[in-house]
Amino acid sequence: MHDPDAATLAREDAKVPVAGGDRWSARALDPGELDPEQQVVVAWDPEESGAVVGAPGSGKTSTLLSRVRSLVDRGVDPDHVLVLTPTRPAATALRDPLALAVGRATAGALARSLASFAFQIVRGAEVRRGAEPPQLLTGGDEDQIIRELLEGDALDEASGRRRWPDWLGPSIRATRGFRGDLRAFLAECTDLGIAPEDLPALAEHQGIPVWAAVGSFAAEYRAVRAEMRGAHRDAADLAREAVAVFDEAAGDRELLGRFASIRCILVDDAQELTSGGIDLLRACRARGIGVVAFGDPDVGSGAFRGATPENFARLAAELGGLVALGDPHRGTAEQIDLVRGVAARIGAAGVVAHRRAPIGAPPEGSVRTFLLRSPAEEADAIARLLRERHVLDGVPWSSCAVIAHDSRQVAALEAELAAREVPARASGPGVALGTQRAVRDLVTLVELGMRDPDAWTADAVLDALLGTYGGLDPIELRRLRSALAEEELSA
């Protein structure tokens, strides 16, 4: 199953996979290698729409690549075909296989993330209207704005003005986890079209008082963002604006720019799409563009962004034709049975046509389960298994991966494995530069150097001395204080 947080073992020069999935080994298949269901999908006309579902290893991404090659072979210009993915790393991973499948030069990348596609649509429309080109508000920028607003709330509470309930004190609101949840909540509201002024009424109706506080905060956040220099957009706004551009383009085709000639859109990992992404695909289909969505509603890692099996089911119903890929092309019989057994326990909230009953394969050792008493024992077991694979079986470190539950566990595993002489490097979501101590200390030092020394404060100097570049520890700082005090007294 896909997991955005993975501690991946690799040499420094190795290409590190970010998430599981068959896209890493996928290729365009020859017609004789396609099973009957894959042949049906590949043979669809360019403007035909539908949904393709399949379990892990059923060849969804290979079918997508084969369809792209088939379209090009049938005379469709590669620049009129677009492949969308929910995330940028997934789009990057598909670009090389797509280039090999097409076999010719193209005007731009054939694979884009859905946010990138929406941004290009919105930016092109604004430029053609003569307006200021929009700028994408990064996750780090959003986090910085939210952090400053929450710090302001803490100062307001000190003077008697309170927005948040008592159980959400300043210490909780100052955590990175709270800011992340708040960002996700605001993005989900934007995705669903819920305005900040709607949240108090929803809070009263649903009996969740904290939503009223979030509504007040959201209104202030939007006001601050509107006053920023430049036309800033966040990822949650882009899909909605792109839909509006498509609606407006019905009377002005030039608003879409180079995307006005798109004939076919193929979407990989469509189960990770949010409501805004599905609305954008519906707008594309309304213009006569063929949309084919590939996905597995039983697999997902984007629930925190608003991706649900119900979204995929709605998309599949709107696209029309549904093809289920049933033949597994990867994994042992025992592994296939394990996946099918887990999927059978998942509620049927979405499409289930791809599910198959376990075949009752006998144990063969390709699936092993360990019950360990502590995190330290867990790290020992993982390190031992990885060394066995590397030393005894000759598996390179770059072909080994450890999938963790969350980013905190990833960081702990990376340190634990490195301590056990297993070369580990974390992949997945990057860390914002501003949160890294070396960068933060460097910025602090530069800001201190730009000020007049007479304006320096004791706290600022202490931060610089105890930081990465000052290099002093508390004992050395005490010695420095003593030496300065002695020098002052002797003078």
Q: What is the DSSP string of 122-187?
A: HHHHHHHHTPPPEEE--HHHHHHHHHHHHHHHHHHHHTT---S-TTS-HHHHTSHHHHHHHHHHHH
- Domain identity same for 326 and 245: yes
Q: Identify the residue with better confidence: 395 or 24.
A: 395
Q: In the predicted model, is pLDDT for residue 94 greater than 50?
A: yes
CATH number at residue 279: 3.40.50.300
pLDDT confidence bin for 40, thresholds 50/70/90: very high
- Domain identity same for 273 and 199: no
**153 assigned to some structural domain:** yes
Cα(257)–Cα(110) distance, integer angstroms: 16
Q: Identify the residue with better confidence: 6 or 424.
A: 424
Lowest mean pLDDT among 22-31, 401-410, 441-450, 467-476: 22-31
Bridge partners of 119, per DSSP, are none
- Domain identity same for 44 and 122: yes
| 328 touches 57 (CB < 8 A) | yes
Which sign, positive or negative, has the C-alpha torsion 105, 107, 109, 110?
Answer: negative
Cα(31)–Cα(184) distance, integer angstroms: 43
Q: In the predicted model, is pLDDT for residue 64 greater than 90?
A: yes
Cα(142)–Cα(246) distance, integer angstroms: 27
- Domain identity same for 252 and 287: yes
- Domain identity same for 71 and 199: no
Closest CA to 68 of 261, 258, 264, 259: 264
Looking at residue 256, what is its pLDDT? 79
- Domain identity same for 240 and 115: yes
- Domain identity same for 473 and 327: no
Structure token pair of residue 249:
């383009």
| Range 399-421 burial, b when 16+ CB lie within 10 A, else e | ebbbbbeebebbeebbebbeeee
Cα(4)–Cα(404) distance, integer angstroms: 9
Looking at residue 16, what is its pLDDT? 28
Looking at residue 226, what is its pLDDT? 76
**405 assigned to some structural domain:** no
Of 307, 331, 355, which one is at a domain's C-terminal end? 331
Distances (CA, A) of 258 to 80, 261, 382, 451: 9, 6, 50, 49
Torsion angle, CA of 280/282/286/292, rounded to 10 degrees?
110
Domain that holds residue 84: 34-127+236-331
Cα(313)–Cα(325) distance, integer angstroms: 16
- Domain identity same for 446 and 480: yes
Bridge partners of 54, per DSSP, are 325
Q: In the predicted model, is pLDDT for residue 141 greater than 90?
A: no
Provide φ and ψ at 231, rounded to 5°. Answer: -90, 90
For residue 109, give every residue at least 6 positions away whose Cβ sits within 8 Å of its Cβ, in sequence order, or none: 91, 95
- DSSP character string of 63-117: HHHHHHHHHHHTT--GGGEEEEESSHHHHHHHHHHHHHHH-S--SS-SEEEHHHH
pLDDT, tens digit (0-9, with 9 covering 90-100), for 280-335: 999 999 888 999 999 888 887 776 676 777 888 888 888 888 998 988 888 888 88
Q: In the predicted model, is pLDDT for residue 193 greater than 60?
A: yes
For residue 351, give every residue at least 6 positions away whose Cβ sits within 8 Å of its Cβ, in sequence order, or none: 51, 53, 297, 309, 312, 313, 316, 322
Q: In the predicted model, is pLDDT for residue 160 greater than 70?
A: yes
**365 assigned to some structural domain:** no
- Domain identity same for 109 and 181: no
Closest CA to 276 of 231, 320, 246: 246
Q: In the predicted model, is pLDDT for residue 22 greater than 60?
A: no
- Domain identity same for 175 and 224: yes
Of 331, 346, 380, which one is at a domain's C-terminal end? 331
The residue count for the chain: 491
SS3 helix, strand, coil % of the chain, rounded to 5? Answer: 55, 10, 35
**449 assigned to some structural domain:** yes
- Domain identity same for 76 and 219: no
**193 assigned to some structural domain:** yes
List, in sequence order, every beta strand (DSSP E) within 164-249.
231-233
Number of independent structural domains in the chain: 3
Provide φ and ψ at 430, rounded to 5°. Answer: -75, 160
Of 214, 233, 252, which one is at a domain's C-terminal end? 233
Percent of the chain with pLDDT over 90: 24
Lowest mean pLDDT among 94-108, 123-137, 258-272, 476-490: 123-137
Q: Identify the residue with better confidence: 265 or 4.
A: 265
Bridge partners of 323, per DSSP, are 52
Residue labelled with tokens 């792109």? 242
- Angle (CA) 411 4 222, round 5°: 100
Closest CA to 435 of 160, 217, 141, 152: 141
User: Average of pLDDT values for 85-106?
Assistant: 88
**10 assigned to some structural domain:** no
The secondary structure element, H or E, covering residue 331 is none
331: left (phi over 0), alpha (psi -120 to 50) or beta: left
Cα(265)–Cα(404) distance, integer angstroms: 33
Looking at residue 433, what is its pLDDT? 67
Looking at residue 431, what is its pLDDT? 57
Q: In the predicted model, is pLDDT for residue 3 greater than 50?
A: no
Looking at residue 20, what is its pLDDT? 35
Looking at residue 309, what is its pLDDT? 79
Percent of the chain with pLDDT over 70: 91
**416 assigned to some structural domain:** no
Q: Is 434 helix (H, G, I), strand (E, B) or coil?
A: helix
59: left (phi over 0), alpha (psi -120 to 50) or beta: left
Q: Identify the residue with better confidence: 244 or 16.
A: 244
**111 assigned to some structural domain:** yes
- Domain identity same for 173 and 309: no
